Amino acid sequence: MAFDVTLIRGDGTGPELMEAARRVLEATGVKFNWDVQDAGVDVMEKYGTPLPDSVLESIRRTHVAYKAPITTPIGTGFRSVNVAIRKEFDQYINIRPSKSYPGVRSRYQNIDLILLRENTEDLYAGIEFEMGKPETVELISWIRGKQPKAKMYDDSGISIKPISVTGTRRFAKFGFEYARKHKRKKVTAIAKANIMKYTDGLYYQVVREVAKDYPEIQYEEMLVDNMCMQLVQKPELYDVLMLPNLYGDILSDLCAGLVGGLGVGPGANIGDNSAMFEAVHGSAPKYKGQNKVNPTALILAGMMMLDYLGEVDAARRLEKAVADVIAEGKSVTYDMKADRNDPTAVGTKEMADAIIAKLKK
């Protein structure tokens, strides 16, 4: 059996990273039918958009996308390829693992966190009203009428924060099912319900109800500001973190910082009928064509894709091969060396070759 997968090569260093990652995934022995697609700033002149219709049509057919980094165009009004794909396919879960690998420089050890971020609601829904516009003034007047003591001003911009029972329930159910499947012992729901009582309060209420169906999993709630401190002081106490959209975006980078940065950070966006797997770092266009950038994050995203496709054994073998190469410290890129000018650092292609050699053993 071969899996149909939309392979999006990205821009900047994306194509060379994807070529390395593709070779590694094929070395696991799993068969793929790659539908190769291009997206990003490099195709804007040809298609007039960084996300051609052919990419979306491909994902509709395959239901699975493997995506290299893509630059978000500045000043075009296009928010990002990532956001567009998430919205088009209602990929309401963002999964960001943060795991310690011996050999990666970090102040912390033995961290194994899974951060789950709700992808569709909260302030990231983008429901905003510009300062001085008639509709903004009208909204301010309405709020004043409803809350006479509210201090609202005509020189305000306004953003609306929707949190729904429906959106939160499906997010929470996925989170607990994920924890159960991967034998995780604790889920921590994170929000700021002491201040935002009707939105974050609703979030807690719904997650709490879902948690009752999973008695074998320890459940706790944490305020987001306290959670930031806890993660810095004692991250080893936490397991699965579940957050609304904005908090999830912020804390996912915090967690990545605990284990060495975005260079080892994979990500996945999951919906009921589709999934997209990616490295969460940028496209680093200044290094384009230099065979220099670390492929670990994109390769580990491929490991997550294998797990999603049910190829659990291949996923574990791949992760072990990556971990072994990093631990040895010989065939790694410059950013993984104690001295970034270390002449023994290898390139993107050569690190992929070393991982493939481990897989063959």
Q: For this structure, is 192 an active site residue?
A: yes
Secondary structure (H, E, C), 42-67 = HHHHHHCCCCCHHHHHHHHHHCEEEE
* H helices present in the chain, as ranges: 14-27, 44-47, 53-62, 81-88, 134-146, 165-181, 200-211, 224-233, 245-258, 296-308, 312-328, 348-360
Q: Is 262 exposed, middle or buried (0-12, 13-18, 19+ CB in 10 A)?
A: middle
Q: For this structure, is 360 an active site residue?
A: no
Q: For this structure, is 249 an active site residue?
A: yes
The vertex-217 CA angle with 213 and 223, nearest 5°, equals 95
Q: Check if the beta carbon of residue 281 is closer than 8 Å to that of residue 69.
A: yes
Q: Which of 35, 249, 307, 324 is catalytic?
A: 249
Q: Check if the beta carbon of residue 35 is closer than 8 Å to that of residue 62.
A: yes
Q: Which of 101, 124, 203, 247 is catalytic?
A: 124
Reference 56, options 21, 6, 95; nearest CA is 6
Q: Which of 154, 225, 272, 342 is catalytic?
A: 225
C-alpha span between 175 and 210 (Å, rounded): 10
C-alpha span between 320 and 123 (Å, rounded): 38
CA atoms within 13 A on the CB side of 205: 13
The two three-digit tokens of residue 172, written as one number:
């929470």
Q: For this structure, is 198 an active site residue?
A: no
Q: Which of 99, 192, 292, 358 is catalytic?
A: 192
- Which residues are known to be catalytic? 124, 192, 225, 249
